[in-house]
Amino acid sequence: MIDLYYAPTPNGHKITLFLEEAQLAYRQIRVDISKGDQFRPEFLTVSPNNKIPAIVDHVPADGGAPFSLFESGEILLYLAEKSGKLLSGELRERHVTLQWLFWQVGGLGPMLGQNHHFNHFAPQPVPYAIERYQVETLRLYNVLNKRLSTSPWLGGEHYSIADIACWPWVNAHLRQRIDLQNFPAVNNWFERIRLRPATARAMQKAQAN
Ligand SMILES: N[C@@H](CCC(=O)N[C@@H](CS)C(=O)NCC(=O)O)C(=O)O
């Protein structure tokens, strides 16, 4: 059984998408980040960076004590290795998948996060920052579109943890002032993932509680 410390945000959705897709048993523990639950001492023992998502695996493969992890990219990699799912064992596809996973956690996520912040949460408008992160958002969507114009999935021939990491951020495209019609390959990929039964189950879990 896996405990998932979760809030219904793009980084939280990554892990429910994986767990539903791989059909691993898990328990969702809501962390209300709008109320400051991420700073509670009991949560900080699991996630010292005070952010969701985090997991505790009560049955790790080494048979040892419960194992806790934070950082969504690492959690996806851990769960892929644990389950043998959603990460190719073939050398090239495996590393291309990890390359796009790292691109998501180091680029797409942080930049789109800044886009959300300056478009929706900044206490006063900062035109330079709005413009800077909008230009960067467009650049990243163009990178994604180019990749998906030549490959069905980010890692290559198979749906993987790289697609799972990116999809919840693209799912928030309207908040980023992005029209997916301008990125046809991204739009096609986005719809293919949206229509997967596991995606529907994960997004339903986000509504619950
Ligand atoms: N690099 C982290 C980012 C996680 C993150 O930014 N989580 C946000 C929600 S999407 C959060 O918990 N924010 C609470 C806070 O910053 O206090 C990851 O990929 O897991």
Distance 103 CA to ligand 1 centre (A): 16
pTM of the complete model beyond 0.95: yes
Ranges of each domain in the chain: 2-86+198-208, 91-196
Average pLDDT over residues 183-195: 98
Residue 15's contacts (CB-CB under 8 Å, 6 or more residues apart) are 4, 6, 53, 55, 72, 75, 76, 79
52 lines ligand 1 (CB under 6 A): yes
Q: What is the pLDDT of residues 130-139, one digit of tens each?
A: 999 999 999 9
Atom of ligand 1 nearest to the CA of 105: 19
Q: pLDDT-based confidence at 209, cuts 50/70/90?
A: low
Q: Across the chain, what does the average pLDDT equal?
A: 97
Atom 16 of ligand 1: nearest residue by CA position:
51
Percentage of the chain lying above the pLDDT 70 cut: 100
104 lines ligand 1 (CB under 6 A): no
User: Would you state the CATH architecture of domain 91-196?
Assistant: Up-down Bundle (1.20)
DSSP 8-state code for residue 38 = G
Atom 12 of ligand 1: nearest residue by CA position:
51
Average pLDDT over residues 58-82: 98
Residue 44's contacts (CB-CB under 8 Å, 6 or more residues apart) are 50
72 lines ligand 1 (CB under 6 A): yes
Q: What is the pLDDT of residues 76-102, one digit of tens each?
A: 999 999 999 999 999 999 999 999 999
Q: What is the pLDDT of residues 19-55, one digit of tens each?
A: 999 999 999 999 999 999 999 999 999 999 999 999 9
Distance 98 CA to ligand 1 centre (A): 20
Q: How many CB atoms lie within 10 A of CB 42?
A: 7
CATH number of the structural domain 2-86+198-208: 3.40.30.10
Distance 52 CA to ligand 1 centre (A): 5
On the question of a common fold for 2-86+198-208 and 91-196, the answer reads no
